[in-house]
Amino acid sequence: MNRILIATDFSPHAEAALGHAVAFARAFDAELHILNVQVPYGPTSPLVDAFPEEKEAREALRSLWFDGVRLVPALERGIAAAPTIMTYADDHDVDLIVMGSHGRRGVRRLLLGSVTEEVLRGGRWPMLTVHEAETGRDDSTTYRKILLPVDFSPRTEGQLGVATDLAHRFSAEIELLHVVDPPIVPELYGPIGPLAVDLKATTGRALGRLDELADTVGDELTVSKEIVVGRSVHEIEHKAADADLIVMPTHGYRGFDRIMLGSVTEGVLRRAKCPVLVLKPDRDGAEPSVEPVETGVAAP
């Protein structure tokens, strides 16, 4: 990872995200591009200042400094923030985008702020999203526990590779979590056909797969494993209460691709209080070698 981009409007949520961007930049010895996008207000004319906050933004960018981080401050003008952010990321070959859940002028939506959501759905870059509950910058941000919800899809191996790399860089432990999400069947029909889930056999097979994944990490890192039965989003949210970072792909082998996001990943982004690193298909590591486990589990 050579270049990290954080888009900021200097709101408290953006400041919180900046602390995480600095942590990643230090861990990877990467350039940190700090981008502010100025969007025009009203019709432009000699009598109207179309970018009234531009001077203030330039001064704020110039004042930023972090020990041991190579900063690249940038200010761009654009008709809309999200396309301008994605164009900048393309032009500068960015490897990761960091954003807060919403900013000062962002519209509060079901998932994230409107700009963050648009970049997350439309971009090809992995994104670190910082929840709105975090406000204020912490320049000493680090990660001690990384939660890895896995569904044994073809994406799992790359997901684990990313988490393992991060765990080495931050001296963190990895918690592997698999949620057995059995289908809801009306009592009238009973446990009929493929809808019947043998939970004992299913969890046994899943535990064996978790053991295989844990063995690939090596002895240098602490890896814990857990299998729970329940609804995926709820269980991941519960386990994330004592995690510092979640690493998830956009969707899994059975996930419904909802314009770049899977249903479970989307639910976690809505509800988890800790930052979520969302991986994209072309940026999450090696080709898979782990076959899916048919468990009736809703995939990310």
Q: Which of 177, 171, 166, 188 is nearest to 228 (CA)?
A: 177
CATH superfamily of 145-283: HUPs (3.40.50.620)
Mean confidence (pLDDT) of the chain: 80
Highest mean pLDDT (candidates 35-44, 232-241, 254-263) = 232-241
57-71, 96-110, 264-278: the lowest-pLDDT one: 96-110
Of the two residues 260 and 200, the one the predictor is more confident about is 200
Q: What is the pLDDT of residues 279-299, one digit of tens each?
A: 987 654 433 333 333 333 344
Domain ranges of the chain: 3-130, 145-283
Q: Please give the single-letter amino acid code of residue 16.
A: A
Mean pLDDT of 189-196: 53
Can you give the length of the chain in residues?
Answer: 300
pLDDT at 123: 85
Per CATH, the number for 3-130 is: 3.40.50.620
CA 166 vs CA 143, 196, 277: distances in Å? 9, 38, 11
pLDDT at 122: 85
Of the two residues 138 and 260, the one the predictor is more confident about is 138
pLDDT at 47 over 90: no
Mean pLDDT of 216-220: 91
Is 145-283 in the same CATH topology as 3-130? yes
Mean pLDDT of 94-110: 64
CA distance 183 to 180: 10
Provide the 10 A C-beta neighbour count for residue 176: 23
Q: Which of 237, 232, 228, 223 is nearest to 251 (CA)?
A: 232
pTM for the whole thing? 0.81
pLDDT at 298: 41
Model confidence band, residue 126 (pLDDT cutoffs 50, 70, 90): very high
Structure tokens at 218: 């090596």
Mean pLDDT of 23-27: 96
Residues of the chain with pLDDT > 70, as a percent, come to 75
Q: What is the pLDDT of residues 245-275, one digit of tens each?
A: 999 988 643 333 333 356 788 888 888 889 9
